[in-house]
Amino acid sequence: MIDLSTLTIQSAREALKAKKFSSRELTQACIDAVKDKDGNIHAFLEIFKNVLDQADEADKKIKEGIDLPLLGIPIALKDNITVAGEHASASSKILENFVSPTNSTAVNKLQEAGAIIFGRTNCDEFAMGSSTENSAFGPTKNPLDQTRVSGGSSGGSAAAVAGGMVLGALGSDTGGSIRQPASFCGLVGFKPTYGRISRSGLMAMTSSFDQIGPFSKTVEDAELIYEVLRGPDSLDSTTITEEIYPKQKNFDKTIGVPRMFINKASENTKKNVEEAIKRFESLGYKVIDLEFPTIEYSLAVYYVIVPAEISSNMARFDGVKYGLRVGGENGIDDYFKTRGVGFGKEVRRRIILGTYVLSSGYYDAYYGTAENVRSLIRKEFREAFKKVDLILLPTTPSSAFKFGERSSPLDMYLEDIFTVPANVTGCPCITLPFGKENDLPLGIELIGDLGREDNIFKASKEFYG
């Protein structure tokens, strides 16, 4: 019997190499787990039909002695990452029947590394949300407490791993959509430096923030997936090379904590951060207070720039180029009808907000100002990373909330207060499961300087010993 709830990718790789089980057996165990558990949880929208064929291919390679980093390991994908010949809907009605003609670069890289492309997971529509309640196909429940959300927007990927249905999954993180659901479900979630992983084949939400990244049970597994996915790509001109960000300092175990900012969290969360600080100090880390006057504007900046980019990225869904088409009286009526029927409430809200902040007369006051403040925040982060290797924050203001509990959009947006600074600045950031609230997991975040994923992984591994 393969126990998927405790098995890690690393240990599964060892077991596959030692022929303790085959990739076919492992993949079948994942299929059975989905059949068994996912009726209630709803992490998956689909398991791809050819998964067992992919597993047989992997087993052939294992027999031939070929060694690849993810050979034979089933990995699930958020429904906004494309696979050639498979549906990809971004959990939206407008793309319900869309079949992708091409692979995303991330999927190409997973395949080159021998992974089984297992299936697609539920998410907030076009990755807009913090609870997966905005999916057109119904919400995903938190496997640790089914009265609560799994987080969002990559809630399906988090629930798929935390529910013991696959060993690893990919999500996308524009403002926390990997880290927040990972934290709610007791997992490790990682967002790399902006540009580190190609966005080619990731459906764009906010092009200047979006990054793909992994969900896993351990830091080692997250690093393994990250190493497979990273690297420049000619199909994405925003991908970066190693040299682009000069190293500002050598790692000397220094962590900065913006305590003034953390004051905005619940008492439990603040206490939890202090516990994490104690643990780092006992490991020989120097923890210092950081003055960070601009960090608290990250959320406001985020919720101006993000809708602005969304309003232009969503323009391609016009009833002509892709997906749903609802016919009207004339061309413009087709457009209104298709988009009115095809998009859910949150997507429409953000298109309207974004169009407003970009409109002539308001552009300078909103979008222009937000971009200027973004530059100030980036500068302050860069300065901070001359003094410290990492910045420590809580991942979320509290543990997983109940369905319907954040029904006002503003309450929902406040969920992102601690995750968005890493996106606004482009910095890499990990969430590590640490501590509990109401018996549910909490997480802490470590943000690194641009291009310094190495520091994050070093400290995270030391944190768990």
* Catalytic positions, written as ranges: 78, 153, 177
Q: How far is the CB of 341 from ligand GLN (least distance, A)?
A: 22
205 is a contact residue toward ligand GLN (CB under 6 A): yes
Please give the residue whose beta carbon sits closest to ligand GLN in the complex: 177
Helix ranges (DSSP H) in 403-452: 409-414, 420-425
| Footprint on residues 282-311 left by ligand GLN (CB under 6 A) | 306
Pairing of strands 74-78, 168-173: parallel
- Told to check if 395 binds ligand GLN by CB under 6 A, we report no
The answer for residues whose C-beta is within 8 angstroms of residue 219's C-beta and 6 or more apart is: 188, 430, 432, 457, 460, 461, 464
Rg (CA), the chain: 21
Under the binding rule (CB under 6 A), the answer on residue 344 touching ligand GLN is no
Site for ligand GLN (CB under 6 A): which residue of 33, 47, 113, 128? 128
Of 86 and 173, the one with the shorter C-beta distance to ligand GLN is 173
Query: Measured from the CB atom, is 47 or 412 closer to ligand GLN?
Result: 412
Angle, CA of 363, 368 and 371, to the nearest 5°: 145
The stretch among 127-135, 137-145, 313-321, 434-442 that binds ligand GLN (CB under 6 A) is 127-135
Q: For ligand GLN, which is the closer residue by CB, 236 or 389?
A: 236
Instruction: Pick between residue 129 and residue 342 the one whose CB is nearest to ligand GLN.
Output: 129
Distance CA 198, CA 244 (A): 15
Q: Contact at 8 Å (CB) between 310 and 389?
A: no
Q: Considering the complex, what minimum distance in angstroms separates the CB of residue 128 from ligand GLN?
A: 5
Closer residue to ligand GLN (CB): 383 or 411:
411
Tell whether residue 130 is a contact of ligand GLN (CB under 6 A): yes
Nearest approach, Cβ of residue 50 and ligand GLN (Å): 28
Binding mask 401-430 for ligand GLN (x = CB under 6 A): ---------------x--------------
158: closest CA among 137, 138, 130, 117? 130
Region of residue 90 (phi > 0: left; psi between -120 and 50: alpha; otherwise: beta): left
Shortest Cβ distance from residue 447 to ligand GLN (Å)? Answer: 15
* Count of C-beta atoms within a 10 Å radius of residue 204: 20
Q: CB neighbours (10 Å) of residue 264?
A: 15
- Judge whether 222 and 190 are in contact, CB under 8 Å: yes
**Taking CB under 6 A as the rule, does residue 103 contact ligand GLN?**
no
Q: Which is nearer to ligand GLN, 233 or 346 (CB)?
A: 346
* Residue 104: CB minimum distance to ligand GLN, A: 16
Minimum distance from residue 306 beta carbon to ligand GLN (Å):
6
DSSP for 363-403, please give it. TIIIIIHHHHHHHHHHHHHHHHHHH-SEEEEESSSSSPPBT
Stretch that binds ligand GLN, among 15-23, 123-131, 224-232, 358-366 (CB under 6 A): 123-131
Eight-state DSSP code of residue 147: E
User: What does the per-residue mask of binding to ligand GLN show for 155-194, with x meaning CB under 6 A?
Assistant: -----------------xxxxxx-----------------
Lookup result for tokens 């000397």:
252
Total residues contacting ligand GLN by CB under 6 A comes to 14
CB atoms within 10 A of CB 61: 16
With binding defined as CB under 6 A, does residue 59 bind ligand GLN?
A: no
Residue 37, classed as helix, strand or coil, is: helix
Nearest to 127 by CA among 306, 312, 308: 306
From the CB of 88, what's the least distance to ligand GLN, in Å? Answer: 16
Nearest to 316 by CA among 417, 449, 207: 207
Between residues 155 and 451, which has the closer beta carbon with respect to ligand GLN?
155
| Residues in touch with ligand GLN (CB under 6 A) | 127-130, 153, 172-177, 205, 306, 416
